[in-house]
Amino acid sequence: MHSTAIPSTDADAVRALFQRDGALARVLEGFEERKEQTALAEGVRLALTQSEAGFFEAGTGTGKSLAYLLPAAMYALAHEKRVVVSTHTISLQEQLVQKDLPLVHKLLPQLRSSLVKGWSNYVCRLRLEARRFSDPELFEDGDDEALERLVAWAEETEDGTRSDLPFEPSHALWGSVCAESDSCLRSNCPYYHRCHFFRDRAAMSEAHILVVNHHLLFADVAIRRELGWETDHAVLPHYDAAILDEAHHVEDVATAYLGATLSQLGAEQLFGRLYRRRQGRSRGVLPRLAQVETGTPDSKGVVSQEAEWAGLLTEAERALQAFFEATMRALSTPGPGGRDKRRLSSALLPKWEVDIVPLALEAGKRVSALSALLAHETKRLGTPEEPALLSLKGEADAARRRLSNLARTLEHFAIADIEESVTWLEQVGRRRTHRLVRAPIDVGPAILDWVSHQVEALVLVSATLSVAGTFEYQRSRLGLEGSVEVAQKLGVREALFDSPFDFRRQALLAVADNLPDPSDPHFVDALAHAVERLVIASRGRALVLFTSFRTLESVRRTIAPTMAAQGLTLLAQGEAPRTRLLERFKTARGAVLLGTDSFWEGIDVPGEALSLVILTRLPFDVPTEPIGLARSERMQAAGRSPFYEYALPRAVLKLKQGFGRLIRTTSDRGAVVICDPRVKSRSYGRTFLNALPPCRREDGDSEYLASVLSDFL
């Protein structure tokens, strides 16, 4: 297998890799033959070679990464195809690039693979030069020491991306020097042949395997759907097949990228990039263009030109502000969507048509006028040789494109579509600025469009993809069930592969059945005391998962004194970056880590450092989320059950993810305690319990469970 011969993709060749005396065993220290891994690899091989949509659930410990990477590599080499491998989390992406793909390259040295990062991850030498010489009309005064460190790093770095930086620059500083798709001069840039971004893009165009994340993948899909499937402005090059790991996130990511967003803060930042007055001086793209237009920074012509252009910008700002203010008034009544997210309902459509549509069109007209001005001035600049003017040209062109996008988005929101999409206004960030969002109620048609035009085969893999032993929920959500188009383009293949771990021996599953219902006002206090007893019994080494930050904070305040008295290290989400918290949790003796949404998955803590996982509440979505409400209403109107067909499956998948944090190796041992009594008191509770691996079971009050834990651990 170390030869450069084209590999076979028949069943025997793939199975041979994963045998006890196979090629993988020779390059992977501690290799163990696992029948589940071999079977998954065979399923992936068939899906790729027979042009199918494959749904595969592979339990923890299956070795799923190599089970899809090796068949994908063999398929790409044998058939001269390109395969995109997409993940949701950075940690899995890093595992693929740093650990798994190097093994694949040892077996298939002729394989070429590339990690794809977005534009803003790379330093732009041209923008860095412009920033270095502190053109005051373009950039704010900043941290000169950090800038010099950036310059020195840029001369030495082989990687050229932010992850390679030995320090963390401010958001503003990095934003002024990073690469941007719309400001890039491409082959006209004097640094083009030294550009890290285009070096990596060249490698990407030659790669058999592209490693991306779901956000980049669906950004690419969104661009292709808008500009055409063969557009040159797409994020990724052409590819033939896609393997989506952590595929339970696909619907949510697709929802985010296949809609539209209009941000008040984003518009302010764009206008500020064009023109701003600070400390008695004019800064931004427009004042700098005015200087170039008149040929001198001090002439009266500059002042006149600048004032004229600033007037156009002010008109656009006022029109956009009027649009946002009217939208806030129109959606000011709390209703479906909650306090912070105000949804456009059918009852508000007449008001939207009368009050909002004319303002959206007027704002779009004003923004388009600014875009036309920049287009004219960019053309007048030609192709200057001076780096500062080249950078100015790029900045102006980037602003023009963003203004054009802003105008198109305003026109998009002028159409009040509530049949196929849901629109809402939300407040975000510390400044509580407003953002108008439109998202598709059903991503199935867009997924189907992508499959029909872009891929010959599609593989979806996750440790949590099935509900009640079937993939019906995922197929229906992604539009890959019962479709004539799917039947014509792709067959569907499904398989579940159990974890090789012995959960009956390694894991205890317990339900604390003495707590009040989560809707009871006394639930949080009772929960805090239960958590306190349980983590003392486990001597820390516990991950406590919450569904709301407010409950987490309340429990943290209650148990903190006891944790300190017991000598247990209490860590809570929000007090440090996630990666730093996890490192402290792994290294501290007897640590207790409290986390919400992002801690339910993507955490790998093998060994005794994690011996107890407490699931404080069944992880149902917030019931007032606009997109969830719209989907539930559509189901209800069709005579279907939104709870059993949407809300419950989503919660089950998330509970399975939380449970999956516990057992990571064959030698791990630990307990999972569910503190939500509904898992026993409600009829749907059995669905949650049946979704978990078969374990030793214990139910009782928290005091009894604490004694059981103490003995078990």
Encode pLDDT of 585-637 as tens digits. 999 989 999 999 989 998 888 888 999 999 999 999 988 889 999 999 999 99
Beta bridge partners of 422: 439
Lowest mean pLDDT among 181-195, 234-248, 326-340, 557-571: 326-340
What is the pLDDT, as a whole number, of residue 136?
46
CA 688 – CA 591 distance, rounded (Å) = 28
| Confidence check: pLDDT of 465 > 90 | yes
Lowest mean pLDDT among 72-76, 114-118, 300-304, 487-491: 300-304
Counting residues of the chain whose pLDDT is more than 90, the rounded percentage is 61
| Confidence check: pLDDT of 297 > 70 | no
- pLDDT tens track for 508-538: 999 999 999 999 999 999 999 999 999 999 9
Higher pLDDT, 138 or 320: 320
If pLDDT is split at 50, 70 and 90, which confidence band does 487 have? low
- Give CA 145 to chain center in angstroms: 33
| Confidence check: pLDDT of 438 > 90 | yes
Q: Span 96-105, mean pLDDT? A: 94
Lowest mean pLDDT among 10-19, 239-248, 336-345, 568-577: 336-345
Alpha-helical regions (H) of 337-386:
349-351, 357-381
C-alpha separations of 586 from 493, 571, 590, 611, 659 in Å: 39, 11, 9, 11, 18
What phi and psi values does residue 458 have, to the nearest 5 degrees? -135, 130
Sheet order of strands, 612-615 included: 569-572, 591-595, 542-545, 612-615, 670-674, 507-512, 696-700
Helix (H) or strand (E) holding 706: helix 702-712
CA 691 – CA 217 distance, rounded (Å) = 30
CA 542 – CA 570 distance, rounded (Å) = 10
User: Are the C-beta atoms of 629 and 343 separated by less than 8 Å?
Assistant: yes
| Confidence check: pLDDT of 295 > 70 | no
| Confidence check: pLDDT of 424 > 60 | yes
- Average pLDDT over the chain reads 89
What is the pLDDT, as a whole number, of residue 482?
60
What is the pLDDT, as a whole number, of residue 308?
85
Beta bridge partners of 211: 85, 115
Convert 481-491 to b/e letters by CB count within 10 Å (16 or more is b): bebeebeebbe
Of 465, 461, 458, 459, the C-alpha closest to 489 is 458
Helix (H) or strand (E) holding 244: strand 241-244
User: Are the C-beta atoms of 562 and 540 separated by less than 8 Å?
Assistant: no
What is the pLDDT, as a whole number, of residue 338?
47
What does DSSP assign to residue 19?
S
What's the start-to-end Cα distance of the chain, in Å?
A: 45
CA 47 – CA 523 distance, rounded (Å) = 48
User: Are the C-beta atoms of 299 and 468 separated by less than 8 Å?
Assistant: no
What is the pLDDT, as a whole number, of residue 595?
96
C-alpha separations of 106 from 5, 203, 207 in Å: 14, 19, 16
If pLDDT is split at 50, 70 and 90, which confidence band does 1 have? very low
What is the pLDDT, as a whole number, of residue 137?
45
pTM for the full predicted model: 0.89
Of 127, 183, 139, 180, the C-alpha closest to 398 is 183
Lowest mean pLDDT among 133-142, 476-485, 700-709: 133-142
Lowest mean pLDDT among 77-81, 289-293, 429-433, 483-487: 483-487
Residue owning tokens 């898992």: 679
CA 403 – CA 410 distance, rounded (Å) = 11
Give the CA diameter of the chain.
85
CA angle 474, 480, 486 (to 5 degrees): 165
Lowest mean pLDDT among 5-9, 274-278, 475-479: 5-9
| Confidence check: pLDDT of 542 > 90 | yes
Q: What is the 3-state secondary structure (H, E, C) of 553-614?
A: HHHHHHHHHHHHHCCCEEEECCCCCHHHHHHHHHHCCCEEEEECHHHCCCCCCCCCCCCEEE
- Give CA 332 to chain center in angstroms: 30
- pLDDT tens track for 363-394: 999 999 999 999 988 888 877 777 778 888 88
Sheet order of strands, 52-58 included: 113-115, 209-213, 83-87, 241-244, 457-462, 52-58, 491-497
| 3-state SS assignment for residue 433 | strand
What does DSSP assign to residue 348?
G
Beta bridge partners of 460: 55, 244
What is the pLDDT, as a whole number, of residue 187?
86
- pLDDT tens track for 335-370: 554 456 888 888 888 889 899 999 999 999 999 999
If pLDDT is split at 50, 70 and 90, which confidence band does 492 have? confident
Q: Which residues, 6+ apart, have CB-to-CB distance to 445 below 8 Å?
A: 479
Tokens of 566: 């017991």
Of 502, 567, 510, 565, the C-alpha closest to 534 is 510
C-alpha separations of 310 from 282, 398, 649, 656 in Å: 10, 18, 53, 56
What is the pLDDT, as a whole number, of residue 302?
62
What is the pLDDT, as a whole number, of residue 689?
96
Of 661, 689, 657, the C-alpha closest to 676 is 689
What is the pLDDT, as a whole number, of residue 3?
42
Using only C-alpha atoms, what is the Rg of the chain?
A: 28
